[in-house]
A = this chain, B = another copy of it.
Amino acid sequence: MSQSRAVPMVPFLSRCNMALRRVLALAAALGRRSCCSKPSLPPDFVEALRTVVGAPNVSTATAVREQHGHDESMHPCAPPDVVVWPQAVEQVQELAALCHRSRVPMVPFGTGTGLEGGVNAVQGGVCFDLSRMDAIAELSLEDFSVAVEPGVTHKALNKHLRGTGLWFPVVPAVSMWEWTPSPPASPAHPLLADPGADASLCGMAATGASGTNAVRYGAMRPNVLNLRVVLPDGRLLHTAGPGRHPRKRAAGYDLTSLFVGSEGTLGFLTQATLRLHPLPEASAVTIASFPSVGAAVACTVQVLQAAVPVARIEFLDEVMADACSRFSEMGLPVAATLLLELHGSQRSLAEQQQQTEEIVHQNGGSSVAWAEGQEERERLWSMRHNAWYAALALRPGCQGYSTDVCVPISRLPDVVVETKQDLQASNITGPMVGHVGDGNFHCILVFNSQDPEEAQRIHAFTERLGRRALAAGGTCTGEHGVGLGKRTLLQEELGPEGLDTLRSIKAALDPHNLMNPGKVL
Q: Which residues of A contact B (CB under 8 A)?
A: 140-145, 165-166, 207-210, 214, 218-219, 221-222, 231, 235-255, 257-258, 260-262, 266, 277-281, 301, 304-307, 309, 344-345, 347-348, 351-352, 355, 406-410, 438-440, 470, 473-482, 486, 489-490, 493-495, 497-498, 500-502, 504-509, 520-521
Beyond known contacts A240-B475, A244-B475, A246-B438: 16 more, CB 8 A cutoff:
A166-B305, A207-B250, A210-B250, A237-B497, A237-B498, A241-B495, A244-B473, A246-B440, A247-B408, A248-B475, A249-B477, A252-B490, A253-B258, A254-B258, A254-B260, A347-B351
- Give A62 Cβ to nearest chain B Cβ, in Å: 32
Q: Which residue of B lies closest to A145 (CB)?
A: B408
Nearest CB of chain B from residue A256's CB, rounded to whole Å: 8
B-side contacts of A262, CB under 8 Å: 253
Partner of A473, one of B243, B254, B494, B497: B243
Q: Are A410 and B142 in contact (CB under 8 A)?
A: yes
- In the complex, what distance in Å separates the CA atom of A304 from the CA atom of B309? 16
- A144 and B306 CA atoms in complex are apart in Å by 12
Which of B235, B242, B278, B477 makes the CB contact (< 8 A) with A250?
A: B477
Given A252-B494, A257-B258, A410-B143: A278 and B307 within 8 A (CB)? yes
The answer on a CB contact under 8 Å between B214 and A478 is no
- Of B209, B278, B408, the residue contacting A246 (CB under 8 A) is B408
Instruction: Assess whether A244 is in contact with B478, with CB atoms less than 8 Å apart.
Output: no
> Given A221-B254, A246-B474, A406-B249: A507 and B505 within 8 A (CB)?
no
Write the nearest CB–CB distance from A411 to chain B, whole angstroms: 8
Contact in complex: B494, A501 (CB < 8 Å): no
Q: Which residues of B contact A231 (CB under 8 A)?
A: 497, 501
**Complex: A222 Cα to B214 Cα, angstroms:** 12
- Can you tell how many copies of this chain the complex includes? 2
Q: Which residues on B sit within 8 Å (CB–CB) of A506?
A: 253
Contact B247 A498 (CB under 8 A): no
Taking each of A304, A408, A477, which has the highest tally of chain B beta carbons within 10 Å of its own beta carbon?
A: A408
Chain B residues with Cβ below 8 Å from A493 are 241, 244, 251-252
B241 and A140 form a contact (CB under 8 A): no
Best-buried of A246, A304, A409 by chain B (most CB within 10 Å)? A246
Q: Which residue of B lies closest to A351 (CB)?
A: B347
Given A141-B305, A247-B439, A474-B246 in contact, is the A257-B348 Cβ separation under 8 Å?
Answer: no
Measured CB to CB, the closest approach of chain B to A506, in angstroms, equals 8
Contact B246 A478 (CB under 8 A): yes
Q: Which residues of B contact A258 (CB under 8 A)?
A: 253-254, 257-258, 505
CB <8 Å contact, A473 and B246: yes
Give chain B nearest CB distance to A350 CB in angstroms. 9
Q: Are A498 and B406 in contact (CB under 8 A)?
A: no
CA distance A307 to B166 in the complex (A): 10
Partner of A307, one of B143, B279, B307, B407: B279
Q: Which residues of the partner chain B approach A408 to less than 8 Å between Cβ atoms?
A: 140, 142-143, 145, 245-247
Task: Tell me, rounded to whole Å, the shortest Cβ–Cβ distance linking A225 to chain B.
Answer: 9
Contact check, A142 vs B351: say whether CB atoms are below 8 A apart: no
CB–CB A498/B255 < 8 A: yes
7 closest A-B pairs by CB: A257-B257, A508-B508, A142-B410, A278-B307, A208-B250, A504-B508, A143-B408
Which B residues are CB-close (under 8 A) to A301? 142
Q: B221, A144: Cβ atoms under 8 Å?
A: no
Bound-state CA distance A240–B494 (Å) is 6
CB pair B306–A278 under 8 Å, yes or no, is: yes
- CB-based contact B251/A477 at 8 Å: yes
CB contacts (< 8 Å) of A142 on chain B: these are 301, 408-410
Chain B residues within an 8 Å CB radius of A141: 305
Chain B residues positioned under 8 Å from A254 (CB to CB): 208, 221, 257-258, 260-261
Query: Does the CB pair A495–B242 fall under 8 Å?
Result: yes
Q: Which residues from B are CB-within-8-Å of A214?
A: 248
**B348 pairs with A245, CB closer than 8 A:** no
In the bound assembly, the distance between CA atoms of A485 and B133 in angstroms comes to: 39
Contact B260 A478 (CB under 8 A): no
A487 → chain B closest CB, angstroms: 9
- Decide: B497 and A249 in contact? CB cutoff 8 A: no
Can you give 11 A-B contacts (C-beta < 8 A)?
A165-B305, A208-B254, A221-B222, A237-B498, A237-B501, A245-B408, A246-B473, A248-B440, A252-B520, A254-B257, A279-B307
Give the shortest distance, in Å, between A518 (CB) and chain B (any CB).
14
Contact of A251 among B210, B218, B407, B486 (CB under 8 A): B486
With both beta carbons as reference points, the residue of chain B lying nearest to A438 in the complex is identified as B247
Q: Which residues of B contact A261 (CB under 8 A)?
A: 250, 252-254
Q: Which of B239, B486, B504 contacts A498 (CB 8 A)?
A: B239
Nearest to A143 among chain B residues (CB) is B408
Contacts of A143 in B (CB 8 A): 408-410, 439
A355: chain B residues at CB < 8 Å are: 345
